[in-house]
Chains A and B, each alone.
Chain A
């Protein structure tokens, strides 16, 4: 099999909270230009890993190589300005700002104002929020907030997009829209996408590669259909048979 390019090279990443080993020597490589999934039982360290990758948390040790540069220890805005963007499990939008202002807040200061406005308009169109552009973030439904957060994460045209549970709390129609958008980003624009998700339908039907975490360690990786049959994965989810 031909070697695929690596977007994000995670080496022996560790994060302990007191005695709890949230991420304990995690190593995996996210392939470039693909949709990958990160799964694992509750408390397996998925969200912590995301927080470490985006600088929201500082890693205790380990490396994350992005374009040949170690991004561990960078501040979140520095990671963002290098082209890595994310959403959160529980949406984090500015509730007292309008949809349009939320969008603009994610534009880098270097981007000309007019360009930022145009891009915000396009992205709102892309996720069908144009009608709600003047509405305050706090007045949107949960699903709409997810779309807004997703669109906001795309403002600076990032190369790598990390999505933390995009399906949680979103109705089917909206979820299918969101997944269409994600595929569109990957197929037409060659973006790399890493998704943390509990909804196995999303992972199995939409990801090309899946990584499985348990107790802060990667226990398996591979194609979705192989992961489904993997003994270690089944044990991690359901215990011994």
Chain B
């Protein structure tokens, strides 16, 4: 019985995703935004490519969120604020010190790792394994605090970093902006590094062991509180790296972190909570549908957030474990 329900939910999820990808096209045809000529197809290809590039960056910071959830079962709603903080750190190094946003990663990532370590040690280590609401509220408060501090220092004005604004012509009609390509390559590199770290390095193995069963990890001599701190440090570094990479593409202000938290949650719900590869796939899928919406639906840019909300709600209703998550007990 259970297996049949399991298979059925898989088909429903597939159906939902197909429908979700069809909606922008349907609306586009209805509002006469879809043209069946070569130029339009080239534009569509450009949009999808841009979406995939964007997805790589989303996926990277979503992986940070999924790591924290997978290892500690903590729902960290301050994750997007760390993305925003990463954007501001990069901006500061760019304008005050004059460091290239990508080179600045060498400085911002260690800083981020330490921030994550401290957050874990001071705020979260004491409440891991307890009722889920406590860490959730703590991270909620932390997120608001970060927003208000950044607001106090930088005001609510939008900032941008002018970086590699020109586009790369793939063919005569298809072009992808260089900053997107650079971001995607960096995101892929960082995500893969973390993946191999988890797979091969013994601390990575200890992190996976703790995620699978913290009680066993403890009787196998793993100091899980150290592991929690390293995990949080890694997650913060992924968030800040995400912030650096979005800062060279989009404007940001202290409030933008909220949207990134939401996107990250939509991604890990779709990919499967706590699942690494799932988060990567989910990231790309969400970003592609977002770009399709803004491309074909009139006034679509203002509606992309619906994609995140809708994705999260429907996946939770249809198949709570998402694409690749573990079975619910």
Contacts and interface: CB of A to CB of B under 8 A. Distances in A.
Given A85-B219, A97-B208, A109-B206, 7 more contacts: A86-B219, A96-B208, A105-B209, A106-B220, A108-B221, A113-B202, A155-B220
Contact of B216 (A55, A81, A94, A116): A94
A107 B216 contact: no
A77 B218 contact: yes
Interface in B171-217: 202-203, 205-206, 208-209, 212-213, 215-217
B277 to A, nearest CB: 13
15 contacts: A56-B218, A56-B219, A77-B217, A77-B222, A81-B221, A92-B216, A97-B205, A97-B208, A97-B212, A104-B202, A105-B209, A105-B222, A107-B221, A109-B202, A113-B202
B8 to A, nearest CB: 24
B215 A56 contact: yes
Contacts of B220: 77, 80, 105-106, 152, 155
Candidate in A54, A76, A93, A106 with the most chain B CB atoms within 10 angstroms: A76
A80 B221 contact: yes
Interface string A81-107: 100011000001111110001001111
A93 B219 CA distance: 11
A145 interface: no
Contact of A107 (B202, B208, B218, B219): B202
Contacts of B224: 77
B223 interface: yes
A56 B203 CA distance: 22
A92 B221 contact: no
B275 to A, nearest CB: 11
A97 B207 CA distance: 12
A194 B219 CA distance: 16
A81 B226 CA distance: 15
Interface residues of A, number: 28
Interface string B253-285: 000000000000000000000000000000000
A116 B206 CA distance: 14
A54 B215 CA distance: 11
A97 B209 contact: yes
Contacts of B206: 105, 109
B202 A76 contact: no
Contacts of B221: 77, 80-81, 106-108, 156
Contacts of A184: none
A124 to B, nearest CB: 16
Contact of B213 (A56, A77, A94, A107): A94
Nearest to B225: A75
A34 B266 CA distance: 57
Contact of A77 (B208, B212, B223): B223
Contact of B205 (A76, A81, A104, A108): A104
A94 B217 CA distance: 9
B212 A96 contact: yes
A94 B212 contact: yes
B215 A105 contact: no
Nearest to B218: A76
Interface string A206-234: 00000000000000000000000000000
Contact of A95 (B205, B212, B218, B219): B212
B213 A92 contact: yes
B227 to A, nearest CB: 10
Nearest to B217: A105
Nearest to B203: A109
Contacts of A107: 202, 221
